[in-house]
């Protein structure tokens, strides 16, 4: 998305800033639902800056234009940022976060404009408090219109694609049960209700899926849930008669997506009045139940030990609950003093996959592994024959193999098909026009995934179809050792991914190597390929969420030689109870089970660096891959893939 008139757009924004009397304007990446991936109509930061990475924040003043992004995107941003922009490499010691920059670099008593629908209420409170310190006295100003929308003449329309019901045989839990569970928590807490603004949370709660955002099976929606009632806001044109009947039978009142803000404001008036008069507020003809007589929330026992410290804390409140990602605009509509932002109960519950969802992950990863084997075997043969394939065209071949799989619904993100120097760009997406030709004698990194009715996949494999160098082999082996260390880790309940992250980096650190991304992210069940709150990495937020049985995450250490090549090895795993000889502290212990079934390139391994247990792990993993993927390949009658699988799974 190159910006054809970057300076012109900047000047237009600056002119509107003067009209609205703000000294700076902040453009986050996210939409009104705090989505990581966006519908084209919400890609405001990308439209203004030219930088299309999924993470970053832009700030415009009358004299400067700066764009912050993390280490995954530095190389990409350097290439894409338009004229007039300065890249801020978030994560470097001398680069302040954008909020700190606003505080320290802007003149005192500055007014900082922002669209309140794209700033989480929790972030607003922290940032506003910081800016309001006596020595700074700056102010965040909510603007009623988004300035980028104003200058975006050809902005795409908001999609309204069909919404469909995901059957209980895939979800493992019906919508009525989910609603009862959440409403019971509201009663136990004493809250008048909760506003759900995150698209994947609404999709999970109502067992619905859509396609309004590329690669994410979600749809534009909000929901208001009270102890007795729930209302879903969605475009009526997206609902078939069958889905409408399903929601009605489930006790869900459906309103138009466009009615949300009016309804929320009206409901907020009732909430505010209730908290003053101690009466019972209502939502139209619907009513809240009171909290009298409800017992205190109790922690839930988890397998193998005492109540887990990481079980969500159902702390009493008489305020409306919103998740930490819910927008400032939602809090404004209800009344900021009547809203409590906390980690979402739905996010926590959704993250702990049930047995049906876990089995779905197992099965879809076997089918997906077969597609990967068919693709890599084809690619190796094509390169051996001297055929010329670009990164983009090869990725299309992989997608076509996936399309032949049962229950396939689409890709889970843009395929990262990268050869040579492009593999060093952590989130590289090959352009349709002008992408590089895959070289037999260069490293090839492929990070890809798919959406299936029974789960979501995310797999990275790195290959060298020629003669890799000793440097490449050593780096690959160190990455593999970090991957194995996570896969085989046994740890007590209460352990966070923040703590485990060092395990994946230790082999790399021993050679003075490292990588600029997390080791693992949560994965949704036929939902977003990135989901929280769990993960493995150096982000402090990962220390807030101990890993629990049922958490599905990725295991993806890597190494990237800037401008030359890159390596990543990624499997999706699930946290499971572990049987241990002892149970110190009666905590209970956990381990990982890997779902991903695709060979790891042994040509790139230096066996002498592996310990005996690491060698056994690799050989055992390949035996498992061969056993599980072979039947699928036989169903397709793909002899080439079968022969390639046999070769790549040979023990070392």
Contact criterion met (CB below 8 Å) for 576 and 549? yes
Q: Give the per-residue SS3 of 316-384.
A: CCCCEEEECCCEHHHHHHHCHHHEEEECCHHHHHHHECCHHHHHHHHHHHHHHHHHHHHHHHHHHHHHH
Residue 300's pLDDT is what? 35
Q: Which of 103, 91, 90, 94 is nearest to 131 (CA)?
A: 103
DSSP 570: B
**Residue labelled with tokens 């690799």:** 618
**Mean pLDDT of all residues in the chain?**
93
Starting at the edge strand found earlier in the chain, the sheet holding 416-419 runs 416-419, 443-448, 459-464
Residue 172's pLDDT is what? 98
Tokens for 601? Answer: 């390139």
Residue 527's pLDDT is what? 98
145-166 per-position pLDDT tens digit? 999 999 999 999 999 999 999 9
The rounded distance, in Å, linking the Cα atoms of 521 and 542 is: 10
DSSP 611: -
- pLDDT band with cut points at 50, 70 and 90 for residue 278: low
Q: Which residue has the higher pLDDT, 274 or 423?
A: 423
Q: Which domains does the chain have, with CATH numbers?
A: 6-151 (3.40.350.10), 164-348 (3.40.350.10), 355-648 (3.90.230.10)
**Residue labelled with tokens 């990581």:** 36
The rounded distance, in Å, linking the Cα atoms of 313 and 632 is: 44
449-464 per-position pLDDT tens digit? 999 999 999 999 999 9
Please compute the mean of the pLDDT values over residues 428-452 and round it to a whole number: 97
98-145 per-position pLDDT tens digit? 999 999 999 999 999 999 999 999 999 999 999 998 789 999 999 999
312: exposed, middle or buried (Cβ count in 10 Å: 0-12, 13-18, 19+): buried
- pLDDT band with cut points at 50, 70 and 90 for residue 276: confident
**Percent of the residues in the chain that have a pLDDT greater than 90, as a whole number:** 91
């Amino acid at each position: 998305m190159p910006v054809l008139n970057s300076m012109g757009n900047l000047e237009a924004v600056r002119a509107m800033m003067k009209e609205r009397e703000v000294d700076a304007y902040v453009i986050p990446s996210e939409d009104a639902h705090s989505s990581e991936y966006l519908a084209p109509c919400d890609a405001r930061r990308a439209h203004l800056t030219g930088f299309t990475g999924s993470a970053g924040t832009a700030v415009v003043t009358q004299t400067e234009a700066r764009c912050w992004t993390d280490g995954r995107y530095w190389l990409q941003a350097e290439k894409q940022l338009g004229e007039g922009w300065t890249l801020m490499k978030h994560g470097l010691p001398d680069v302040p976060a954008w909020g700190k920059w606003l505080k320290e670099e802007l003149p005192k008593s500055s007014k900082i404009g922002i669209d309140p629908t794209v700033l989480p209420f929790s972030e607003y409170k922290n940032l506003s408090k910081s800016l309001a310190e006596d020595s700074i006295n700056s102010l965040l100003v909510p603007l009623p219109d988004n300035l980028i929308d104003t200058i975006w003449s050809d902005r795409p329309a908001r999609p309204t694609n069909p919404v469909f019901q995901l059957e209980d045989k895939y979800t493992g839990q019906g919508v009525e049960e989910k609603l009862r569970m959440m409403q019971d928590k509201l009663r136990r807490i004493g809250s008048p209700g909760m506003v759900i603004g995150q698209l994947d949370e609404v999709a999970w709660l109502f067992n619905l899926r859509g396609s309004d955002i590329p690669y994410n099976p979600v749809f534009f929606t909000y929901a208001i849930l009270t102890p007795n009632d729930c209302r879903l806001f969605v475009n009526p044109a997206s609902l078939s008669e069958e889905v409408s009947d399903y929601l009605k039978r489930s006790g869900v009142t459906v309103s138009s997506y466009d009615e949300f803000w009016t309804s929320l404001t009206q409901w907020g008036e009732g909430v505010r009045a209730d908290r003053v008069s101690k009466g019972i507020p209502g939502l139209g003809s619907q009513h809240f139940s009171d909290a009298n007589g409800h017992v205190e929330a109790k922690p839930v026992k988890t397998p193998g030990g005492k109540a887990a410290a990481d079980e969500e804390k159902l702390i009493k409140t008489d305020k409306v609950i919103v998740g930490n990602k819910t927008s400032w605009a939602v809090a404004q509509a209800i009344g900021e003093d009547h809203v409590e932002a906390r980690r979402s109960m739905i996010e926590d519950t959704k993250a702990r996959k049930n047995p049906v969802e876990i089995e779905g992950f197992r099965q879809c990863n076997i089918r997906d592994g077969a597609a990967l084997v068919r693709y890599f075997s084809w690619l190796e043969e094509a390169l051996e024959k001297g055929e010329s394939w670009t990164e983009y065209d090869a990725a299309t071949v992989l997608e076509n193999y996936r399309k032949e799989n049962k229950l396939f619904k689409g890709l889970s993100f843009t395929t990262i098909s990268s050869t040579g120097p492009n593999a060093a760009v952590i989130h590289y997406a090959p352009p349709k026009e002008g992408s590089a030709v895959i070289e037999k004698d260069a490293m090839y990194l492929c990070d890809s995934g798919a959406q299936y009715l029974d789960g979501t996949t995310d797999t990275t494999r790195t290959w060298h179809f020629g003669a890799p160098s000793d440097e490449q082999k050593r780096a690959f082996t160190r990455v593999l050792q970090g991957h194995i260390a996570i896969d085989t880790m046994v740890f007590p309940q209460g352990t966070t991914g923040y703590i485990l992250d060092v395990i994946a980096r230790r082999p790399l650190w021993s050679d003075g190597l490292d990588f600029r991304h997390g080791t693992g992210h949560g994965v949704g069940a036929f939902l977003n390929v990135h989901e929280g709150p769990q993960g493995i990495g150096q982000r402090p937020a990962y220390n807030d969420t101990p890993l629990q049985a049922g958490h599905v995450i990725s295991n993806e250490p890597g190494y990237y030689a800037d401008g030359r090549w890159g390596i990543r090895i990624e499997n999706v795993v699930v946290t499971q109870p572990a049987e241990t000889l002892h149970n110190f502290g009666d905590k209970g212990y956990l381990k990982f089970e890997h779902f991903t079934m695709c060979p790891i390139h042994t040509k790139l391994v230096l066996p002498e660096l592996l310990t005996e247990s690491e060698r056994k792990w690799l050989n055992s993993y390949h035996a498992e891959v061969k056993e599980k993927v072979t039947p699928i390949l036989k169903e397709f009658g793909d002899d080439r893939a079968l022969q390639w699988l046999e070769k790549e799974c040979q023990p070392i």
